[in-house]
Amino acid sequence: MSAAAERRRPVVAALYREALPPRLSEIEELAEVRLTKADGLAKAMDGADVLYQWHSFSPALKENWSAASTLKWVHVTAAGVSQLLFDELIQSDITYTNSRGVLSTAIAEFALGFVLDMAKDSQGSYRLQQEQRWQHRTTRKIQGQTALVVGTGSIGREIARLFRAVGMGADGGGRTARPGDTDFGQIHSSRDLVSVVKDYDYLVLAAPLTSETKGLVNAEVLAAMKPSARLINVGRGELVHTGALTDALASGTIAGAALDVVHPEPLPAGHALWSGDNVIITPHMSGDTEDYLDDLGLLFLENLRLYRAGEPLQNVVDKKLGFVSAS
């Protein structure tokens, strides 16, 4: 490589916590890479063009913002980035990209698994097995059941496609109502949940956390659901008012919940949700398949190639909205 070409190589500050990013040798072929943990970020960003936030939920960029004067692009290995955005970053000219889409299929599979688990009462079967009891029961079929999927981005759309593939109906909940969507039968405004949730057997949350979606599912929404309905949350814990959900499950206002995310997270020991027979809790793992780390690394590598070529990047976040806008 000539000296002129070497000068064109971008400088990438790669923030990590423990394990190094995957595909590092391929990244180093395209850029000068400065590996750093949070305490060294300010030095690593000095003169850097790119911040590769492999430690996805670190607040280090905000804490070292004064050292970020030369950054042109920040990439984070997460889809939900609301907790990472701050006023100075939002108002800056820095391009911000996320990892939208990488985990969508895995999360959709997890959501379908929750539906099957609850419909077929897998938890009940396991409890009976532990007691060595042979007790015949009937279960519910999922064909013909309906779901309202709140969040019409890549994750919500993958969920809708999988649900439809097994004979379920799937409508969406988004910022604006609109009919005739390619993946959803129709899309309701998420502001209208109280008036529409009564028509669905499952309320599935896959939305980003924003000022508009925080606490979206409250006591009023839960009270409007069918008593036989179930709540599934594979989005963010703060989409749901935890106290209201706990009360609704205990009183039978809704039939059950499957929660891959909760608020607070992790759920404290002794919390009532842990012991509910009608609750399934998993530790924020719905997208974490055996090869997901490499998939996340591959997305950054592809975007770095685009950056080097001066071409538009994938997954550019609308920083004011807090997510990748489809429009």
Q: State the pairing for strand pair 11-15/50-53.
A: parallel
The closest alpha carbon to 103, from 291, 324, 257, 322, belongs to 291
- Catalytic residue (one of 9, 140, 161, 284): 284
Q: Which of 265, 302, 308, 311 is catalytic?
A: 265
DSSP letters along 218-257, please?
-HHHHHHS-TT-EEEE-S-GGGB-HHHHHHHHHHTSSSEE
Say whether both 118 and 172 belong to one domain. Answer: yes
- Assess if residue 318 is contained within a domain: no
Domain of 57 in residue numbering reads as: 3-100+290-309
Q: Would you say 307 and 292 are in contact if contact means Cβ atoms under 8 Å apart?
A: no
Whole-angstrom distance, CA of residue 233 vs CA of residue 114 = 10
pLDDT tens over the chain, length 327 residues: 334 344 479 999 999 999 999 999 999 999 999 999 999 999 999 999 999 999 999 999 999 999 999 999 999 999 889 889 999 999 999 999 999 999 999 999 999 999 999 999 999 999 999 999 999 999 999 999 999 999 999 999 999 999 999 999 999 999 999 998 999 999 999 999 999 999 999 999 999 998 899 999 999 999 999 999 999 999 999 999 999 999 999 999 999 999 999 999 999 999 999 999 999 999 999 999 999 999 999 999 999 999 999 999 999 999 998 888 864
Q: Please provide residue 103's backbone torsions phi and psi, each rounded to the nearest 5 degrees.
A: -105, 5
The total of structural domains in the chain comes to 2
Collapse the DSSP code of 185 into the 3-class scheme (helix H, G, I; strand E, B; otherwise coil) and give the result.
Answer: coil
Q: What was the pLDDT predicted at 326? A: 65
- Position of tokens 């997208």? 287
Distance CA 250, CA 273 (A): 9
Same domain, 175 and 299: no
Residue 1 confidence (pLDDT):
35
Going by C-alpha positions, the residue among 156, 148, 154 that lies closest to residue 202 is 148
Report CA 253 to chain centroid distance, whole Å.
27
pLDDT score recorded for residue 80: 85
Fill in the DSSP letter of residue 316: B
Same domain, 14 and 139: no
Say what the pLDDT of residue 2 is.
38
Tokens at residue 121, please?
């009462």
Contacts for 287 with CB less than 8 Å, ≥ 6 apart? 102, 103, 104, 106, 107, 110
**Same domain, yes or no: 84 and 116:** no
Both 9 and 148 in one domain: the answer is no
User: H-helix or E-strand containing 11?
Assistant: strand 11-15
Residues 260 and 171 in one domain: yes
* Whether residue 230 is found in the same domain as residue 263: yes
Spatial contact of 64 and 43, defined as CB atoms under 8 Å apart: no
Is 220 labeled as catalytic in the residue annotation?
no
Q: Per-residue DSSP letters for 50-114?
A: EEEESSTT--HHHHTGGG-TT--EEEES-S--GGG--HHHHHSS-EEE--TTTSHHHHHHHHHHH
> The domain spanning residue 7 has which CATH number?
3.40.50.720
Give catalytic status of residue 236 as yes or no. Answer: yes
Same domain, 58 and 110: no
- Tell me the C-alpha to C-alpha distance, in Å, between residue 266 and each of 242, 253, 258, 279, 283: 13, 25, 15, 15, 7
Distances from the Cα of 17 to the Cα of 54, 60, 71, 81, angstroms: 8, 11, 21, 18
Q: Of 112, 115, 93, give the one whose Cα is nearest residue 104.
A: 112
What is the length of the chain?
327
Q: What is the pTM assigned to this prediction? A: 0.89
Residue 233 lies in a domain: yes
Q: Which one is catalytic: 236, 238, 241, 263?
A: 236
140 and 258 both lie in a single domain: yes
CB 233 within 8 A of CB 210: no
319 located within any domain: no
74 and 150 fall within a common domain: no
Say if 184 falls within a structural domain. Answer: yes
Q: Is residue 315 part of a domain?
A: no
Residue 164 sits in the same domain as residue 210: yes
Determine, yes or no, domain membership for 327.
no
Is 110 found in the same domain as 91?
A: no
In a domain, 59, yes or no: yes
Q: Are strands 279-281 and 178-179 parallel, antiparallel or unpaired?
A: unpaired
Q: Give catalytic status of residue 75 as yes or no.
A: no
Query: Is 324 within a domain?
Result: no
